[in-house]
A and B are shown apart, each in its own frame.
Chain A
Amino acid sequence: MSQTEGIVESLLFASDRPLTVREFKTLMEDVGTKDIEEAIESLKRQYEQERRSFQIVQVAGGYQICTRPQYARWIRGLFRSRARSRLSKPALETLAIIAYKQPILRAEIESLRGVCVDSVLQTLLERDLIAVKGRKATVGRPLLYGTTDGFLRYFGLNKITDLPAERELRSLIDVSKSSESLVTEYEDTAEQIFSPSRRNIQTSGGSIHPGGAGSS
């Protein structure tokens, strides 16, 4: 193991949060980005080859050492007291809307979900998964919400655009639909062929992107 690898590994080992390449560079002074990235890749390979119980993952824009999933059973026992509760369905739905539409107003989330989201937003704020990102310059200056780094860490994402794009979501919907009803789809097609005048609605729908309108 080279000197650089050793330093990188020790920093990853000791850190309680993901470290970015920039942070490595600051800490290691005269080592370049390329050397750091190479050291990380080399460490990853070594852990893989030696079948170590831990790995290096990219999360929230940085690198972090974490255990491999197959050991979760035992580690859970160790951390019994700080077991985190899973998010509820309403919380996940609200979070999904915020992740794709941020920055977004509470009223907009409510219109998309068709229900009041007051208490759900409170929970998400408390768990540091979302934050107030500012205020919209309209009447009442309502608060705008967006996801946090905590969100990325919680879901093991490196960046917000790692979430599936709209196209992928649509194909997932199609897959789940087709497995349910192959027969009706056939019938549908037949109906369309025989009644071309059928009034189908061309929907505009809102297009969605992880990270909201700002990212591509």
Chain B
Amino acid sequence: MAGHKTATTEEMSSATGYQVKIPIFEGPLDLLLFLIQKDQIEIQDIPIARITGEYLAYLRLMRLLRLDVVADFLVMATTLMYIKSQMLLPHSIQEEDIFQEDPRRELADKLLEYRLYKMAAETLDEREQEAALLFTRPSEPQLAEGEEEQDLIEVSLFDLLAAFKDIVEKEPEGVTHEILLEEITVKERFEYILDALIHKKRLPFVELIRSDPRKMAMVVTFLALLELIRAQLVSVKQQRAFGQLWVYRKACVKVDRHPFRDTR
């Protein structure tokens, strides 16, 4: 059932060629909470059949409006229908002793906790607005040794790949052709990159990749760098498009306890 619905949504969006993504509801829990509040129902005692009906009606409406009905909403629809079926099943008295758990309980717990975070988010929202009224001295741009860094551009994965390809291709063919069993691990390379960045705030991308000029090592170094970027431990920036790429240490990195140190 869920699979069928997904297919319909996809068909529709590909047929129209565009997809509107308006987050009317932040997610299935948000929609359920809305329905529950609208009908002034107690979360601990949800009339499952009625709410399931209303929930599905909203999904239909969202699809009608060509809103992006994401899979998460469909998962919740199946959960609701499952609970509904559980509630419909006749229970013998003995069974009731064994399965005293209300099938709605897990959902109720989830909704209650979600409502708490929604309120927490609202208080954060208020704080954000209040804090936005207070101005402090803007932080001075941190100048690196030598060159001035103004308006650095974040580098995309494609820029990185292109730069890497350049280095590998420009690498002069080695005069020696030794075949050795090379064991270079990604872990070793992130240690290397992080260590190199302890003393310097930034390093040229080329220099890092060439630090170990064996081809295999360059590939591994590149992979390690991607992993570090993903973990937000370093960032790669450039001053202008097609300019020199710089690998920066993120200010927050405490080198003595970065998350990979204890990795096997």
Contacts and interface: CB of A to CB of B under 8 A. Distances in A.
Interface of A: 13-17, 57, 64-69, 71-72, 75, 79, 82, 84, 86-90, 92-93, 95-97, 99-100, 112-116, 125, 128, 131-135, 141, 143, 148, 154-157, 163-164, 166, 169-170, 172-173, 176, 180-181, 184, 188, 198-201, 203-206, 208
Given A114-B76, A131-B252, A132-B259, A100 B131 contact: no
A184 B40 CA distance: 7
Contact of A65 (B118, B123, B136): B136
B123 A203 contact: no
Contacts of A131: 232, 252
A87 B115 CA distance: 19
Interface in B124-153: 124-125, 127-140
- Interface majority SS on B: helix, strand, loop or mixed? helix
A114 B26 CA distance: 9
A199 B102 contact: yes
Contacts of A67: 134-136
A203 B125 contact: no
A204 to B, nearest CB: 6
B29 interface: yes
B263 A141 contact: yes
Q: How large is the interface on B (under 10, 10 to 19, 20 to 34, 35 or more residues)?
A: 35 or more
Contacts of A163: 120, 123-124
A65 B137 CA distance: 8
Most chain B C-beta atoms within 10 Å of own C-beta, residue among A72, A87, A96, A184 = A96
Given A65-B137, A166-B116, A203-B108, 4 more contacts: A16-B137, A64-B136, A114-B76, A133-B259
Most chain B C-beta atoms within 10 Å of own C-beta, residue among A90, A148, A169 = A169
Most chain A C-beta atoms within 10 Å of own C-beta, residue among B104, B136, B260, B263 = B136
For the complex of A and B, the 5 pairs showing the least CB-CB separation, nearest first, are A115-B27, A156-B131, A69-B133, A96-B120, A72-B133
A134 B259 contact: yes
B105 A201 contact: yes
B45 interface: yes
Contacts of B105: 201, 203
A172 B121 CA distance: 12
30 contacts: A68-B134, A72-B132, A72-B134, A72-B135, A75-B135, A84-B132, A89-B23, A92-B121, A92-B128, A93-B118, A93-B121, A113-B27, A113-B117, A114-B110, A116-B72, A135-B263, A154-B128, A154-B131, A156-B127, A156-B130, A156-B131, A156-B134, A157-B127, A169-B123, A172-B122, A199-B45, A204-B109, A205-B113, A205-B116, A208-B116
B19 interface: no
Given A154-B131, A198-B45, A17 B139 contact: yes
Contacts of B131: 154-156
A43 B119 CA distance: 36
B127 A201 contact: no
Nearest to B27: A115
